[in-house]
Amino acid sequence: MGEKELRRSMSVFPIGTVMKLTDLTARQIRYYEEQEFVHPERSEGNRRMYSLNDIDILLEIKDYLSEGLNMAGIKRVYEMAQAKKQEEKSKKPLTDHDVRQIFRDEILAQGGLAKTGHYQSQGLQQRQYFD
């Protein structure tokens, strides 16, 4: 993930700011969260914090609704976009880092090296295998 995308995905906006930026009510914003369009993080005080990406999605939803699309249609648009993104991702060749990450996840999911104490008995660090 590039620095620009990382910054856009940082959850830094409270719901009050999002309401001002999008002209949506708190109830509307929470409804779109319930519908899994946006995924705010929670602050230490359990407040919803939204990212620029979340705000973009809320504005897109607002535009779709003003164009006459209903929620089922909007969900379909986002499902198709997600499917296209997955298809493009599957066509992209795996990097060494991707392969190591998949390998690590599979081993840990199967109760592999970390649970068996293999690292300790061999005097090895996890970093040698996976990073």
Task: Report the alpha-carbon distance of residue 78 to residue 76 in Å, rounded.
Answer: 5
**pLDDT the model gives residue 57:** 96
CA separation (Å) from 19 to 11, 23, 58, 59, 65? 15, 5, 10, 11, 17
pLDDT category at 1 given cuts 50, 70, 90 is: low
Position with higher pLDDT, 118 vs 21: 21
For 64-113, the pLDDT digits (tens) are 999 999 999 999 999 998 888 888 877 778 788 878 888 888 888 887 65
Set out the domains of the chain in order of their start, with CATH numbers.
1-100 (1.10.1660.10)
Is the sign of the CA dihedral 70, 72, 78, 80 positive or negative?
negative
Q: Is the pLDDT of residue 126 over 60?
A: no
**pLDDT the model gives residue 6:** 85
Q: Is the pLDDT of residue 119 over 60?
A: no
For 2-41, the pLDDT digits (tens) are 788 888 888 899 999 999 999 999 999 999 999 999 999 9
